[in-house]
Structure 1
Amino acid sequence: MTVAPDDARQGASHLYRAMRDFVRSVDDTLPGKFEITKEGIVHDMVSAGGPHEVTAARVSRRLERVMRDGLLAHNGTPDVEDVPEGVMRHPDVLVIAWADLDVEGSVDPRAVIAAIEVVSRSNPDNDWVGKMRDYPLLGIPVYAVFDPRTGTGAVFTDIHPTPDGPRYATRKDFVYGEDVTIGEWTIATSGLPRYGDDEG
């Protein structure tokens, strides 16, 4: 059986909307974070509190201290969604203008200035592989990763086309303790917790 492109697109859209409805129905009832990628639903068992949440909060506060008025480094809801691409992601920290956040539902990814992720202990490939693919596809110009497993991270910029789709061309690695530049802003990474710091 041959499926015409329009039929295939309509079927993909229907499947995406079904996945989105499911994610929204379980979001407040099951632990962890649910997102939608080209491959399907990703469930990340992010624990409340601990190094993951502390890192996101500290990065958010440090960015907001150096950003101009009208911008914020938001570490809450909503999702970033591109329905035609069939992708819905939830960055740990979202750099965006207040005006672009003031919308009903999901945020337009084209309004996002930078997305920041703190690597989870349970599913590191979601941040290092999946979001490395999805964020340039969504047109998010800067993607920063903080990894409490290793005390390292990287900032990705300069989206360019490749045979496998848009990808970041530039990667700048950092080690906790160094200053890191995310977009136009430079912040300290000293004092960020690592997994194991809260265990004893």
Structure 2
Amino acid sequence: MRAPAGLHELTALRLRKRLEKAMPEELAAHTGTPDVEDVPQGIMRHPDIMVIAEADMEGQGSFDPRALIAAVEVVSQSNPDNDWVSKLRDYPLLGVPVYAIFDPRTGTGAVLSEIHATPDGPRYAIRKDFVYGEDVTIGEWTISTDGLPLYA
């Protein structure tokens, strides 16, 4: 049996491949470095997958978070609040228009979009929940969630 960290990486790999198959060639479902950072906000994040135009990857230093088309996170078994609470707060503050969360603990997830102002700061207005096995739309691209591993 694989460790949850291996299943986390396998989920990210499968999602990256499915996204890249659906997207135009000039876009990438990037899983490497660097981070995305908003210096004035004092926020730095490293999404599991960043949907970004290859042209926006040029240059040195952190990516501008407003260049991201979407951030995709695979929930960590050891720290689920990081994805469901902290990043859910930070990504709209950073201006990331779409945030997709895949949770191998439960075989569920959510895609959040449409940033709007609230008294507590920018938040996502639309949330579409899904269960593994359904197709899910991230931005303009629909991918299958069939065969994504679960933490057992």
Question: Which whole-Å CA distance do the structure 1 matches of 2:133 and 2:19 have between them?
Answer: 16
Question: Which whole-Å CA distance do the structure 1 matches of 2:4 and 2:34 have between them?
Answer: 17
Tell me how large the CA RMSD over aligned residues is.
1.1
Please state if 1:157 is matched with 2:113.
Answer: yes
TM-score, length-normalised on structure 1?
Answer: 0.73
Which of these residues, 35, 48, 61, is aligned with residue 17 of structure 2? 61
Which of these residues, 178, 181, 190, is aligned with residue 146 of structure 2? 190
Q: How big is the shift at 1:49?
A: 4.8
Please state if 1:108 is matched with 2:64.
Answer: yes
Q: How big is the shift at 1:48?
A: 8.4
Correspondences of 1:31-42 after superposition (within 5 Å)? none
Which of these residues, 95, 99, 109, is aligned with residue 143 of structure 1? 99
Cα deviation 1:30-79 (Å, max 9, x = unaligned): xxxxxxxxxxxxxxxxx785110001110000000010121010111110
The alignment partner of 2:150 has SS state of: coil
Unaligned runs of 5+ in 2: none
Question: Which whole-Å CA distance do the structure 2 matches of 1:48 and 1:106 have between them?
Answer: 28
Correspondences of 1:1-200 after superposition (within 5 Å)? 49-196=5-152
**Does the C-alpha gap of structure 1 residues 100 and 52 become closer, same or farther in structure 2, counting only changes over 3 Å?**
same
Unaligned runs of 5+ in 1: 1-46
Question: Which whole-Å CA distance do the structure 1 matches of 2:79 and 2:91 have between them?
Answer: 17
Q: In the alignment, what sits opposite 1:10? A: none
Cα deviation 1:60-107 (Å, max 9, x = unaligned): 000000101210101111100000000000000000000101121100
Q: In the alignment, what sits opposite 1:37? A: none
The alignment partner of 2:8 has SS state of: helix
Instruction: Considering Cα pairs closer than 8 Å and 6+ residues apart, tell me whether 1 or 2 has the greater RCO.
Output: 2
Q: Which amino acid aligns with 1:50?
A: G
Structure 1 or 2: more strand by fraction: 2
Q: Report % sequence identity.
A: 72
- Structure having the higher Rg: 1
Q: How big is the shift at 1:183?
A: 0.2
TM-score, length-normalised on structure 2?
Answer: 0.96
